[in-house]
Structure 1
Amino acid sequence: MFRFANPEYLYLLFILPVLVVGFILLNIQKLKVVKKLGDLKLIKRLMPELSLKRSYLKFWLIFAVIVFGVIVAARPQFGTKIEKVDKKGIELVIAIDVSNSMLARDVNPDRLSKAKQILTRIIDERKNDKVAIVVFAGEAYVQLPMTTDIQSAKIFLENIDPSLVPVQGTVIGSAINIAMNSFTSDKEVDKSIILITDGEDHEDNGVQLAEQAAAAGIQINVVGVGTPEGSPIPVSPTSNEMKKDSEGNIVVTKLNEDMCKQIAQAGKGMYVRADNSNNALKSLQAELDKLQKKNVEGSAYSEYDEKFQFFAWCMLILLLVEICIFDKKNRIFRNIRLFR
């Protein structure tokens, strides 16, 4: 992919036709003045050191310099590049529940959207951390391996929806297990899992896996999304039709706070409930800030790589050539007839 970072400078190219017209008119005017002095062939013999073609060449060199200068100012960029970055932070795995129950609208706009809003703000604050993303419903998958590229993490997070996991259900234990295996082998840096869910665990081994994580030095913080009173589950994110059971009754999903609190306690972390205030977010950030940070090296992807250097070198070379060309023939090199 190619683009200009500052395309507004390309409007300067509209002055180029004006320069060409001005140069032509100026030369026509000069020709008229010379003709008043006499025959052109005779005048050329009287001024053997004058070379009109040199002036033409100098103009077109300056013309090309201006073109390249405008291109440099517009900053052409092409492709992608990978940069090595050194940061001081922790390793963080975000495990997000994408089961259909997360479409419930007992929080605004719905549980999944609220979870993504909270996690985006957390990622924005954790710019120096390594981040991985795990999605789970009836199965758990690594959506993004451990990386220092925070921008990529935000892009992956934005695209999360229930269709990523075709098997429905909520397997918190499997999600914790996958998250534990997503960390690096670096034992000096602290590790944490943020588990964001409505707490409806269909495996019933989440607490046991949280204890194993804590024993391995991995802290688990849980964010509960939803309300204890519960809410119906929409058939789709944009539908007003609600899911029904086999008997035709509307299915209501409730936040299982007891399960969330047990997992957080077993994982030696904290439990917070997602709401419309910033209190939960601030508490979670404060808890993560307590962890020991270490220098971590990783790769970050810059979407575009600067390519103005080629045009800058062309501009410099043409400018040097223009400077070395004189309007009049040099007496030392007058017998060298490059410009007849």
Structure 2
Amino acid sequence: MTLAEPAFLFFLLLVPLLALGAWLADRQRRVAWQSLVAPRLRRKLAAPASPLGRWLSLGCGLIGLCLLVVTLAQPIAGEVETTSQVRGRNIIIAVDASRSMLVRDVAPDRLNAAKTAVYELLEHFPNDRIGLLAFAGSASLQAPLTIDHNALRETLDQLDETNVPSGGSNLADAINLATKTFKETGQRTHGLIVISDGELHEGELEDASFDARQEGVFIVTIGVGTLEGDFVPDPEETDGRFRDRSGRPVLSRLNPAPLRTLAGDTGGLYLEGVSGDFTKKIETVISRLDAFEDEGRVQKRPIPRFQWFLIPAMLFMIASLLLRFLWVPARPRAVTATPTTTLLVLIALFGASPESSAWNNPLEGFFGSRALKKGDTAKALEHFEKAAEDASPEELARIRYGQGAASYRAGNYEKAADAFADALLSKESSLQRDAYSQLANTLYHRAMSPDSSDGIPLEERIDLMEDALEHYDSALEIDSKHKASTQNRKATEQALEQLKQVQQQQQEQQEQEQQESGEEGEEEEGEPQESDQQGENGENQEGEQGEEEDGEEGEQDGEGQEGEEGEQDENGNGQEEGEEDGQDGEQQSGQEGQEEGQQNQAQQSQQGPAPREDETAEEFARRILEENADFQKDALRKRGRQAAPTKDW
């Protein structure tokens, strides 16, 4: 048996002091009585009382006090193993361990820089199943997919260029081995992170990337090294440089081409270097993977044994009170031990209860909820973190929901999404419904927040919106009458449609700019015929004016179309009389270009707002997003321009 809080045992030093104080108080009382009353009158004034009952009461009280002190020290004996359920994804990290990774063009060298990046990835993805793979001339699985990241760190510490005996850099073999490992898990999507210099790769890389794409593997490639490169070191040579068969020093440079191609073929991402917030960029790809429930870490929780001491302490306290009032004859005197004993009983009830112990503390969750209601998100997160220590799976789901709500209010949507995802493990259907709904709200805010217009590409924001719709559907599957999820889903559909319109306008504007650049090149080649073209354009304009005038006369005489068809005639889209009057103008060489310009203008007016002058496609898309973005950091509300999800927690 051990004690969780042994410092409370210092209170046992008060027990002998209390016993000494009780003896001195009794002696002083007897001395005062003897000095006041003559011996011959003592029997007549007060009946003789036996001190046995008083000392038994004091002894029971002191024993109960000692047991209460031991209870406050939180005795524990034995352990119970608990396995928590976590939601994770399958990720394999492939590290190039060839000789070229020893080049020191990055500090301290390429291999150690790659290992540092792996350490950061393990910290960034704590709940995911991660495996470690090393490759050179062949590939070798150093650690299988596991949730035990401490074991991965130990394996990574021992990784060097000698782990793979064969020389070279067979990147295709590494991809094939990772794909085979992923296939054995039975999941639909997987993530492969390759850290290499991309030099001297061997094998059929195209076939390997095709197989990986068919298996649902998203590959993120990270290039380490510089384009200038450096000589491959060799401590056995006199000049410290590795030489090829012809005796020339080998110069190694970063080759990003195969890495960039591999990432593009599998829908992944290529990063050059491991500096900055590269983990957040990788998160944009890993977030597309399907998360699944898996058994997490096995934890050993100590078994509290405070009941062994609390129950006897209560019995001794009750016995002390009974002896104090029943054994001793009633007479007018102060009972000094009763208030102290009562106070100690209250301390035992509230201080030694399992709810307030170090291994299970719901008060922290209460304080976190109260801080969240007051708007103090930082303090709320602090209380929730303390409450999450060694909590049961169901309690942990509720605590993670509170952490998600606090992070949501603080504007940290990435942590909020992770917390709401963990709350889905709850067995309570109402909490699952709210977690799905709030997770969808969080993804909506990540896509529509002003910060995302500069950091997250438009395509990824559309993916976030689509994921939000799926989570709303999951919430409605649990409770089809959930009003907040229904309204928020409609608002998200409208926002997604606007993003897709912006994407379409951006693509059309790029195509128009390319077409205009081609037309400018044709105009420069035909400058000597400028006067002839101006004459032809003048005739074309006269023909168009004739078409418009005839169209207007047709409207006044009742021969033309009415309403919207009349507006289309003014734009030159299908008015038969104008085409007959301007038939001579259509035969001119410049008429086709003007008709295409009018059609493009009509299409742009029907599709939505057009870009401003001297405004690029990226600036136009950013302006549309800012005009339609929800700048609020708290709950989603309906707005005048666009309906946004509302708060339901």
Fold shared, TM-score > 0.5 on shorter chain = yes
Aligned to 2:527: none
Whether contact under 8 Å (2:209, 2:262) holds in the other structure is yes
Aligned to 2:10: 14
The answer to whether residue 71 in structure 2 is matched with residue 68 in structure 1 is yes
1:236-275 Cα distance to aligned partner (Å, 9 max, x none): 9xxxx94533788655432222232233344343322115
Aligned to 1:245: 243
- Any unmatched runs of 5+ in structure 2? 35-47, 329-649
Distance 1:313 1:141, change over 3 A: farther
Q: How does 1:26-105 map to 2 (within 5 A)?
A: 26-30=21-25, 32-33=27-28, 36=31, 46-47=49-50, 50=53, 52-71=55-74, 81-87=81-87, 90-105=89-104
The answer to whether residue 330 in structure 2 is matched with residue 324 in structure 1 is no
Whether contact under 8 Å (1:144, 1:156) holds in the other structure is no
Alignment partner of 1:46: what SS? coil
Output the CA distance in 1 between the equivalents of 2:93 and 2:163.
Answer: 16
1:164-194 Cα distance to aligned partner (Å, 9 max, x none): 7151533323322221232265666421211
Distance 1:316 1:145, change over 3 A: farther
Displacement after TM superposition at 1:195 (Å): 1.1
- Any unmatched runs of 5+ in structure 1? 39-44, 335-340
Distance 1:58 1:166, change over 3 A: farther
Output the CA distance in 1 between the equivalents of 2:319 and 2:92.
Answer: 64
Letter in 2 for 1:293: D
The structure that is strand-richer by fraction is 1
Output the CA distance in 2 between the equivalents of 1:249 and 1:52.
Answer: 99
Identity %: 23
Letter in 2 for 1:50: G
Q: How does 1:108-147 map to 2 (within 5 A)?
A: 108-127=107-126, 129-147=128-146
What is the TM-score when the length of structure 2 is the normalising length?
0.41
Letter in 2 for 1:273: E
Whether contact under 8 Å (2:260, 2:270) holds in the other structure is yes
Aligned to 1:42: none
Output the CA distance in 1 between the equivalents of 2:185 and 2:271.
Answer: 28
1:108-132 Cα distance to aligned partner (Å, 9 max, x none): 3332333233334444444554332
1:66-95 Cα distance to aligned partner (Å, 9 max, x none): 1331236xxx798794523242x5422221
Displacement after TM superposition at 1:221 (Å): 1.9
Distance 1:324 1:21, change over 3 A: closer
Letter in 1 for 2:318: C
Moved more, 222-231 or 106-115: 106-115
Letter in 1 for 2:55: L
Aligned to 2:513: none
Output the CA distance in 1 between the equivalents of 2:56 and 2:290.
Answer: 68
Distance 1:208 1:186, change over 3 A: same
1:145-168 Cα distance to aligned partner (Å, 9 max, x none): 32345x447635753521671515
Distance 1:276 1:57, change over 3 A: same
Aligned to 1:338: none
What is the TM-score when the length of structure 1 is the normalising length?
0.72
Output the CA distance in 2 between the equivalents of 1:46 and 1:332.
Answer: 12
The structure that is helix-richer by fraction is 2
Alignment partner of 2:140: what SS? strand
Distance 1:69 1:266, change over 3 A: same
Whether contact under 8 Å (1:221, 1:264) holds in the other structure is yes
Paired residue for 2:304, among 310, 313, 330? 310
Alignment partner of 1:162: what SS? coil
Output the CA distance in 2 between the equivalents of 1:155 and 1:81.
Answer: 24
Whether contact under 8 Å (2:134, 2:142) holds in the other structure is yes
Aligned to 1:299: 295
Whether contact under 8 Å (2:71, 2:310) holds in the other structure is no
Aligned to 1:194: 193
Output the CA distance in 1 between the equivalents of 2:231 and 2:72.
Answer: 62
Larger of the two Rg values belongs to structure: 2
Aligned to 1:178: 177
Q: How many residues matched?
A: 312
What value does the CA root-mean-square deviation take over the aligned residues? 4.1
Output the CA distance in 2 between the equivalents of 1:60 and 1:142.
Answer: 63
Letter in 1 for 2:85: V
Distance 1:57 1:131, change over 3 A: same
Alignment partner of 1:277: what SS? coil
Output the CA distance in 2 between the equivalents of 1:231 and 1:186.
Answer: 41
Alignment partner of 1:326: what SS? helix
Output the CA distance in 2 between the equivalents of 1:332 and 1:24.
Answer: 21
Distance 1:62 1:250, change over 3 A: farther
Letter in 2 for 1:276: S
The ranges of structure 1 where at least 4 consecutive aligned residues each deviate by more than 6 angstroms after the TM superposition are 76-80, 246-249, 330-334
Whether contact under 8 Å (2:102, 2:233) holds in the other structure is yes
Letter in 1 for 2:106: V
